[in-house]
Amino acid sequence: MSEPRKHHFVPEVYLQRFAINKSGDLFSLRVKSVYENQKVKKVNKSQVCYEFDKYTFKTDKIITANKLKDPNYIEKNRFAYENEELERLFNKIDYSKKLFVSEVRKLIQILLNFKRRNPSYSLEYLKPDSNQNLLNVNIERLEKEIIEAGMPKERAKAVIDKVKAEMIENLQDDDYKLDLYRNNLLNFDGEIERNDKPLIDRLLNWETTVFQTDYQNPFITSDNPGYTLKNFREVYNMNFDYIDGFAFPLSPKSLLYFSKSDSLNRFDLFKTINYKKATNRIVLLFNNGTIINSSKFIFSNTEEQLVIALEYINQKKNKT
């Protein structure tokens, strides 16, 4: 049996939600390109939003450190559960069903992991200033482990200095840096969930709204779905420290939006979700955010909505 090489960073199960048929065909528009006169095209979900060997570990050092027997562990094991839960929870919201607080907590974690799977996140590891950031994060993690283990100070300093010197050398290798990114996706023992707990708690306490529309004026998605907002004007990929909103298109007819407001009683069993009919202006506003945050492509279940998006893009070009 051949190894899986096409690794989807936007799950096919998610793209299917915006498809026009059971085969997974959807309309696509390249919005960030050096080429002019882009046109709407029909593509299949299997043909988009993937990279070859994206989640395959490349360096022996990281493989050995994680005691991995298979460099393709992430692609084979990491996402199946999340993809199933994504579909189940998104469907409950689409059909206006109640969600337990625990389900919303799980949903937020899935959305955060969803964002981490995207190339826009992994590319941060290759930026010129990433070496110092990666070094700081890993040394802080090591220091915490050493303190918890109760290691004597002199020995602890020697261990940290040795690891630091090795990391400085390793960080000259892009494969190693991307393996550190892959390492953050492993989540053998729930470490990601523990690290995300403050952010999850914050979003869980924010007001949760589902904007609903119809197939005549649908929400669109992209190759980098979900984005954060400041004052409904500034769009960011994952800046959760500065923003006051987090939007995620669930399907052509539903978009999930967390907005800064304390709305959760810690004794509540169900999370209060406000379902609101989206006006044309609201749909356009959120779709514009999707366009801005996309890496290259946007997708829709209707050709007409992407034509509208193209007109918006051309208007912005003409103004500049």
Q: For 98-121, what is each residue's pLDDT tens digit?
A: 999 999 999 999 999 999 999 999
In which domain, by residue range, is 23 found?
Answer: 6-119+198-319
The pTM of the full predicted model, rounded to 2 decimals, is: 0.87
Residue 167 confidence (pLDDT):
85
Residue 263 confidence (pLDDT):
65
| Residue 240 forms part of a structural domain | yes
Residue 238 confidence (pLDDT):
87
| Residue 58 forms part of a structural domain | yes
| Residue 261 forms part of a structural domain | yes
Of 250, 203, 240, 12, the residue nearest 109 (C-alpha):
203
Q: Which residues of the chain have pLDDT under 50?
A: none
| Residue 150 forms part of a structural domain | no
Q: Report strand pairing: 234-236 vs 207-212.
A: unpaired
Residue 4 confidence (pLDDT):
77
Residue 231 confidence (pLDDT):
87
| Residue 291 forms part of a structural domain | yes
> Which phi and psi angles does 228 have, rounded to 5°?
-105, 155
The count of domains in the chain is: 1
| Residue 168 forms part of a structural domain | no
Residue 174 confidence (pLDDT):
93
